[in-house]
Each structure stands twice: as structure tokens, then as C-alpha cells.
Amino acid sequence: MVVEKNSMVGKKGEEEEYVIVKRKTEVCYYVMKLAEYGELYSFIEHTDRFNEDMTRYILDQLVDGMRYLHSHGIVHRDIKPENLLINKKGRIIIADFSFATRMNEVESDELFQKRYDPFIERRTDVGSEIFNAPEIWDNEINLHELEEQMIKAQGEDKIFDYSEIDGKLRKLSVFPKYNGEKADVFSIGASLFMIQMKSPPFRKAVQTDPYFKRLCSVKKQNYWKIFKSLPHSDEFKDLMEKTLMKYPSQRYSLDQIRGSKFFDVSDDAAQSHHSQVYSPESFIEEIKKRFDIVESVKQNDLSNKTNHE
Ligand SMILES: Nc1ncnc2c1ncn2[C@@H]1O[C@H](COP(=O)(O)OP(=O)(O)O)[C@@H](O)[C@H]1O
Ligand SMILES: [Mg+2]
């Protein structure tokens, strides 16, 4: 994919910068508003760790954006710092909808608001290894979840019959659905971890991964010991544990993230975890400083490359 910058006249008659994405294959040229500071990932890669107030500022916007998408029936399926962009107003832009999909509409409620079924077709070829939820690969998790739901609905004595799932007889290994909204939450959690810790939380969310295994265990302190040299609050730890839960039904929803202690910046809470509300002005100022570093590293890389050619 080729990305070019260009100037054009915007809606208000002012000149605005746009980015033009060209695919080399036959179709598809599209024009989008330019996110001037580029990928959040570059800041993680080339500058210092973001502190917790900055992380909170980013998560606040990310949760708003994702709530908007989900409320319009769209799951993203590839949330990661490479696909989160920053514009000159310090807004976080959710980009790259190439794996996004629509949820099916279900009956509207009495306010005629549209509602969607979060259970979508399972595909294993979406997203990115570090950020994908475990149920993307492990169908046993989806079956466990369904079993739990059916037991809850019908009482524990009832013997579970797989033919009841989806009205058709399905083999255990091919049950085709998972909760797309909760999978997005997992990717948000993994991205947030990366933003604040400058390290991924694990290599892949499978039981054979030693990091994920520790995170799923009862004694989670063995997991956090690995990261003890990187400062983080108890509220951050708690939020990570809840957003990176193996089972989607136990995993936080977007609303629960919003209601978590990590977001509690009341005076009492602020005293316990020294949090501050980060203003857009201070965020932009910080990003500007870091952007100069990112640009100079990229420039250096480029000249090193040309010198070697
Ligand atoms: N609106 C935009 N403003 C600035 N950069 C962008 C914009 N859209 C995409 N990009 C850049 O192009 C990269 C690739 O675009 P993306 O839509 O993520 O496609 P891909 O499927 O190749 O990952 C992004 O990671 C980002 O660096
Ligand atoms: Mg991308």
C-alpha cells in the first residue's frame, strides 16, 4: 500500500491536508483527512514510556470511539497502536477498517434505537497476533462461554446438547461465532498495556505462552513480577487483568472500563494514585515534543539506509 500526503480545499473553503492511500492492485483509491502526528506506535517505538495520565487520556478517547462504532453495529477487529493515529488537535483517530465487520441488527428497543448482536462469524485470519483475543484461536473458549450461558438459562441439571447451539448440530471444533465487541476490548487492553509499558503484555494469548499463562493464573503476582521495574498503579494492573480476561463473559465491557477505578480522578482517588486530568493542550504539547524525536529518528534511519545503498 502506498501512502501520499496532499493538500486540498476542505468543506470550510480552507486548505487542509489529506492522505491518499493507493493500493497497487487494480481498484481502490481513497482520500482521508490527514492525522498529522501519525501512528501512536511510532511514539511507543521511538520515545519514552507514556505516563499513566497520558495513557488515561488516550484510553478515554479510544473508549468513546469504540463505543460509537459498536453502537453503530461495527466491530473493528484490528485495534493496535499502529492503527491509532493522532491529529494536530490531539485527537486519537481509529484507523484501518480493513478487518472491520458489521454485526447483525436485532429488534429495536422501545426508544427505536438500533441494537446489534455482538456474536459474529469467527475468522482466525483477522487482527494481529499480540493484540488478538484468545477466543479468536481457541474455540474451546467460545464453547465454554455458550455452555455457561445455557446453564444459566436452563438450570445446572440440564444436560447440555450441542444441537441446541444455533439450532443446528455443530461439531465442537467448528462452532462459528464469538463476541466481537468483547474481542475488541481485549485488543484495547493489549494496546493500552503497550502504550504505558512500552512492552507487549505477552507474545500471543494462548495457554502455551508463558506470559499469558501467568496472567490467567490465580496468582497474578507472578505475572506482574515480570514487569516490576516499570512503574504502574494498582488501578492500571486491575484494569489490565479485567480487559485481558481469557473468558469474554468475565472480561470488562467498554462501559465497565469507563467505570473502572483507573478512570476515577476524584480528589480521593487522585490522592491514592496521584492522577491528574490531562488537558488536550498538555497532550498536544507533549506529542509535539515527541514528534520531533520520531521525525529525526526516521530521518536518520532513511539517511543510514541511503548511505548503505
Ligand atoms: N488518515 C491518515 N493520516 C495519516 N496517516 C495515515 C492515515 N491513514 C493511514 N495512515 C498511515 O498509513 C498506515 C497504513 O494504513 P492502514 O489503513 O492501517 O492500512 P494497512 O492495512 O496497510 O495497515 C497507517 O498505519 C498510518 O501510518
Ligand atoms: Mg494498519
CA 180 to CA 187: how far, in whole Å? 11
Least distant ligand from the CA of 79 = 2
Regarding beta strands 101-102 and 119-121, do their DSSP bridges make them parallel or antiparallel, or are they unpaired? unpaired
pLDDT at 217: 95
| Span of 142-146, 171-175, 238-242, 269-273 with lowest mean pLDDT | 171-175
Ligand 1 lining (C-beta closer than 6 Å): 1, 3, 19, 32-35, 38-39, 82-83, 85, 95-96, 98
189: exposed, middle or buried (C-beta count within 10 Å: 0-12, 13-18, 19+)? buried
CA 175 to CA 242: how far, in whole Å? 25
User: pLDDT above 90 covers what percent of the chain?
Assistant: 59
Residue 141 confidence (pLDDT) above 50? yes
**Nearest protein CA to atom 1 of ligand 1, as residue:** 34
Least distant ligand from the CA of 22 = 1
Compute the mean pLDDT over every residue in the chain, rounded to the nearest whole number: 85
Mean pLDDT of 51-67: 95
Ligand 2 center from residue 33 Cα (angstroms):
16
Domains along the chain with CATH numbers: 1-34 (no CATH), 41-86+95-270 (1.10.510.10)
pLDDT at 264: 83
Mean pLDDT of 95-119: 86
CA 57 to CA 61: how far, in whole Å? 7
Ligand 1 center from residue 269 Cα (angstroms):
37
**Nearest protein CA to atom 20 of ligand 1, as residue:** 96
Give residue 90's region: left, alpha or beta (phi > 0; psi -120 to 50).
Answer: left
Ligand 1 center from residue 6 Cα (angstroms):
14
**Nearest protein CA to atom 22 of ligand 1, as residue:** 1
Between these two residues, 158 and 218, which has the higher pLDDT value? Answer: 218
CA–CA distances in Å: residue 191 to residues 81, 105, 108, 198: 6, 28, 33, 10
Please give the grid coordinates belonging to residue 272: 491514592
Nearest atom of ligand 1 to the alpha carbon of 33: 1
In the beta sheet, which residues pair with residue 233?
Answer: none
Tell me the pLDDT band of 147, cut-offs 50, 70 and 90. Answer: confident
* Entry pTM: 0.85
pLDDT at 275: 57
Nearest atom of ligand 1 to the alpha carbon of 1: 22
pLDDT at 240: 98
Residue 165 confidence (pLDDT) above 70? no
Q: Which residues contact 217 (CB under 8 A, 6 or more apart)?
A: 223
- Most informative mutation of 7, 83, 91, 291 for ligand 1 (most atoms within 8 A of CB): 83
Tell me the pLDDT band of 213, cut-offs 50, 70 and 90. Answer: very high
Between these two residues, 172 and 29, which has the higher pLDDT value? Answer: 29
Between these two residues, 158 and 155, which has the higher pLDDT value? Answer: 155
| Span of 88-102, 129-143, 262-276 with lowest mean pLDDT | 262-276
Between these two residues, 95 and 308, which has the higher pLDDT value? Answer: 95
Ligand 2 center from residue 113 Cα (angstroms):
31
CA–CA distances in Å: residue 109 to residues 61, 182, 196: 27, 22, 39
Residue 109 confidence (pLDDT) above 70? no
Ligand 1 center from residue 96 Cα (angstroms):
6
Ligand 1 center from residue 254 Cα (angstroms):
25
CA 74 to CA 66: how far, in whole Å? 9
Structure confidence by residue, pLDDT tens digits, 21-44 = 766 667 767 778 899 999 999 999
Please compute Rg for the chain using Cα positions. Answer: 22
Residue 269 confidence (pLDDT) above 70? no
Nearest atom of ligand 1 to the alpha carbon of 3: 12
Mapped onto helix, strand or coil, the DSSP state of residue 18 is strand
- Most informative mutation of 19, 78, 98, 191 for ligand 1 (most atoms within 8 A of CB): 19
Q: What is the largest CA-CA distance in the chain?
A: 72
pLDDT at 171: 45
Ligand 1 center from residue 38 Cα (angstroms):
8
